[in-house]
């Protein structure tokens, strides 16, 4: 069964820094991997979806990479801002039905002004 | 598009009462998911519909939980009878799935408190 791990569980950095969030998965046979952010008391907002055939996706200051062979995806945030403070979750889809979808527990990110 | 719509946003009820949560997916999406989120257990998938048909309900915790999708634009999650341990935030998400599960879009959630 797929396991998805996000380390660290929490991260606090000063405004302006570039940072990397990590997502590791145990089964490299994934179809896609999706990154979300969740603000307190809100739903999940989709950030980026990477298909298994892709190596990276970019949206504004965000860049997500996927390395299936190493079982790893990273979310790079450039020039961090206080508004980036949120919990970031990744979800790996390994095919089949919904039992092939596994979420990590998230990284709680705080950007200090 | 208004995104995924859920109602109510907050629900407070007493143990033993029936609770019905509602979801309207994004128009054109053919897959719908119900999730539950708690601090202890994180995000749990309860049930997954594709083209209005329940495909995988292995995450439904017990028979007290049931879900329906009578048409492509509406789904309900019902808990009867409710118990305090059902207190959580319940999310609905939708996607367009060709082969497998595509990009998911979540609703704002319903915060359920069972006293």
CB A46 to CB B101 under 8 A?
no
Per-residue confidence in pLDDT tens, chain A, 113 aa: 889 999 999 999 999 999 999 999 999 999 999 999 999 988 999 999 999 999 999 999 999 999 999 999 999 999 999 999 999 999 998 877 666 788 999 999 999 99
What confidence tens digit (pLDDT) does each residue in B45-56 have? Answer: 899 899 999 988
Q: Whole-angstrom Cα distance, residue A66 to residue A92?
A: 11
Residue B61 has pLDDT above 90, yes or no: no
CA distance B16 to chain A (A): 26
Place of tokens 């019905």: B20
Strand order in the sheet with A4-5: A4-5, A19-25, A72-77, A62-67, A56-59
Residues of A in contact with B55 (CB under 8 A): 97-98
Which stretches does DSSP call E strand in chain B?
5-7, 10-13, 19-24, 31-38, 42-50, 53-56, 65-71, 74-79, 88-95, 105-106, 110-114
Q: Which residues of A18-36 are buried (b: 16+ CB within 10 A; e: fewer)?
A: ebebebbbebeebbbbbbb
Contact B23, B77 (CB under 8 A): yes
What confidence tens digit (pLDDT) does each residue in A97-107 have? Answer: 666 788 999 99
Residue B54 forms contact with A (CB below 8 Å): no
CA distance B93 to chain A (A): 9
SS3 label, residue A106: coil
Q: Whole-angstrom Cα distance, residue A69 to residue A57?
A: 18
CB B58 to CB A95 under 8 A?
no
| pLDDT number for residue B1 | 65
Of A31, A96, A103, the CB nearest to B43: A103
Q: Whole-angstrom Cα distance, residue A90 to residue A103?
A: 6
What confidence tens digit (pLDDT) does each residue in B13-43 have? Answer: 999 999 999 999 999 999 999 999 998 888 8
């Amino acid at each position: 069964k797929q396991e998805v791990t996000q380390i660290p569980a929490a991260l606090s950095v000063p405004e302006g820094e570039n940072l990397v969030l990590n997502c590791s998965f145990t089964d490299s046979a994934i179809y896609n991997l999706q990154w979300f952010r969740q603000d307190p008391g809100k739903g999940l907002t989709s950030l980026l979806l990477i298909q298994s055939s892709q190596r990276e996706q970019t949206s504004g200051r965000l860049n997500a990479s996927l390395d299936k062979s190493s079982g790893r995806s990273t979310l790079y945030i450039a020039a961090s801002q206080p508004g980036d403070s949120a919990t970031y979750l990744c979800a790996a889809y390994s095919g089949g039905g919904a039992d092939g979808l596994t979420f990590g527990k998230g990284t709680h990110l705080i950007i200090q002004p | 598009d208004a995104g995924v719509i859920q109602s109510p946003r907050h629900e407070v009820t007493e143990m033993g009462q029936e609770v019905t949560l509602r979801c309207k997916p994004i128009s054109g999406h053919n897959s719908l998911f119900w999730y539950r989120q708690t601090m202890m257990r994180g995000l749990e998938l309860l049930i997954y519909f594709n083209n209005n048909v329940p495909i995988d309900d292995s995450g439904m915790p017990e028979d007290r939980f049931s879900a329906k999708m009578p048409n492509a634009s509406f789904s309900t999650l019902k808990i009867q009878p409710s118990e305090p341990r059902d207190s959580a935030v319940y999310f609905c998400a939708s996607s367009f799935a060709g082969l497998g599960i595509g990009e998911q879009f979540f609703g704002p959630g319903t915060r359920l408190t069972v006293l």
